[in-house]
């Protein structure tokens, strides 16, 4: 089942027609025949009835949903599987309104499900990059043209209306994108040094926040201000292409994201970019294998 291809929603529903087939698939992905207690990974585990297990050391019962994004929800696994399939296979994502119609739940439930799924998307956002790495920053937020005249704000580097996001992509490799506090030299350098090996060749634009990178890296720039976008191998076209995908998805599908939740949406697009060479079924299984990251509703709406 793990290696089975699901090329359409129909294939997915045929492969997982009921709760038990979903449970079997999750157990194979999560434990591969060797059940591990989420309460004590060193404990012996007893097999009980009804797809339940018992941790010997703690005396607690659990199942394959425990300590995952599916934990403590009344939504059946088939609807969860369908939701994950839809959000991972749609290049620009899917809105909570559309998902609520597709799986027959309320919009509030669909939004909570999507946020729980997005909370598991950040599995590649801590990668270490090397070789040729493009770096750029962008700002995500509301558009002035959509505001009343008395509510328009001054846009730019110092605008409190938009949230800065920093991106780093290794050519033919992984991409990392992080919400940051500002685009000052200290903030940018901290992220870069923590994510990119010192042996890498770094390409950026002429923004002053990158000026100190040449002390650590082989750093080259293109001068966008002067109309220069490519200088041999030096350009930032790859990361700028990702910004286009991110913004089209956010403005076209989601319309608005708060600063608090922005990183979850960024992680979603990073996941799809980094799994772009995978088939849709491989991408689906990749997320299912990394669902041990539960987000409660209270945590989600806090603040």
Please tell me the distance from the alpha carbon of residue 275 to that of residue 263, in angstroms, as a whole number.
Answer: 18
Domain annotation covers residue 276: no
Same domain, yes or no: 243 and 295: no
Question: Judging by DSSP bridges, how do beta strands 61-62 and 201-204 pair with one another?
Answer: unpaired
Q: What pLDDT does 207 receive?
A: 93
Q: How many domains does the chain have?
A: 2
Domain annotation covers residue 1: no
Secondary structure of residue 181 in the 3-state scheme: coil
pTM of structure = 0.84
Same domain, yes or no: 131 and 243: yes
- Dig out the tokens for 155 from the structure: 């846009």
Question: Judging by DSSP bridges, how do beta strands 45-47 and 53-55 pair with one another?
Answer: antiparallel
Q: What pLDDT does 294 receive?
A: 62
What is the secondary structure of 39-100 as a DSSP string?
A: S-TTS-EEE-STT-EEETTT--EE-TTTTSTTTT--S-HHHHHHHHHHHHHSTT---HHHHH
pLDDT tens for residues 99-146? 999 999 999 999 999 999 999 998 877 789 999 999 999 998 755 554
Q: What pLDDT does 253 receive?
A: 74
Same domain, yes or no: 85 and 108: yes
**What DSSP designation does 252 have?**
I
Same domain, yes or no: 265 and 134: yes
Q: What pLDDT does 54 receive?
A: 97
pLDDT tens for residues 54-73? 999 999 999 999 999 999 88
| Closest among 5, 70, 59, 15 to 37, alpha carbons compared | 59
The answer to whether the CB of 129 falls within 8 A of the CB of 174 is: yes
Domain annotation covers residue 137: yes
Same domain, yes or no: 134 and 249: yes
Please tell me the distance from the alpha carbon of residue 73 to that of residue 231, in angstroms, as a whole number.
Answer: 53
Residues of the chain with pLDDT under 50: 146-158
Per the structure, the complete domain to which residue 179 belongs is given by 125-270
Domain annotation covers residue 275: no
Q: What pLDDT does 284 receive?
A: 92
Same domain, yes or no: 258 and 196: yes
Please tell me the distance from the alpha carbon of residue 300 to that of residue 291, in angstroms, as a whole number.
Answer: 17
Same domain, yes or no: 66 and 133: no
Domain annotation covers residue 55: yes
Secondary structure of residue 178 in the 3-state scheme: strand
């Amino acid at each position: 089942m793990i290696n089975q291809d699901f090329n359409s929603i129909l294939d997915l529903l045929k492969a997982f027609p009921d709760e038990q087939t979903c449970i079997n698939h999750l157990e194979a992905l999560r434990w591969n025949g060797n059940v591990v207690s989420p309460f004590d990974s060193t404990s012996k585990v007893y097999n009980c009835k009804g797809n339940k297990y018992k941790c010997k050391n703690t005396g607690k019962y659990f199942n394959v949903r425990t300590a995952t994004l599916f934990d403590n929800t009344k939504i059946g696994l088939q609807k969860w599987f369908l939701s994950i399939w839809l959000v991972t296979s749609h290049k620009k994502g899917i809105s909570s309104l559309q998902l609520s119609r597709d799986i027959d739940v309320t919009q509030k439930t669909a939004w909570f499900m999507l946020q729980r799924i997005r909370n598991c998307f950040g599995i590649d956002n801590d990668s270490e990059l090397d070789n040729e790495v493009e770096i750029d920053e962008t700002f995500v937020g509301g558009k002035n043209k959509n505001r009343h005249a008395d509510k328009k704000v001054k846009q730019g580097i110092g605008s409190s209306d938009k949230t800065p996001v920093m991106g780093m992509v290794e050519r033919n490799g992984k991409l990392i994108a992080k919400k940051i506090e500002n685009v000052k030299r200290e903030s940018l350098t901290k992220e870069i040094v923590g994510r990119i090996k010192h042996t890498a060749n770094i390409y950026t634009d002429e923004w002053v926040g990158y000026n100190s990178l040449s002390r650590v890296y082989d750093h080259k720039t293109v001068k966008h201000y002067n109309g220069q976008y490519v200088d041999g191998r030096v350009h930032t076209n790859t990361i700028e292409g990702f910004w286009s995908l991110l913004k089209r998805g956010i403005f076209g599908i989601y319309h608005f994201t708060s600063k608090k939740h922005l990183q979850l949406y960024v992680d979603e697009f990073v996941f799809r970019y980094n799994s772009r060479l995978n088939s849709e079924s491989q991408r689906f299984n990749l997320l299912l294998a990394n669902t041990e990251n539960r987000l409660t509703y209270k945590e989600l709406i806090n603040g």
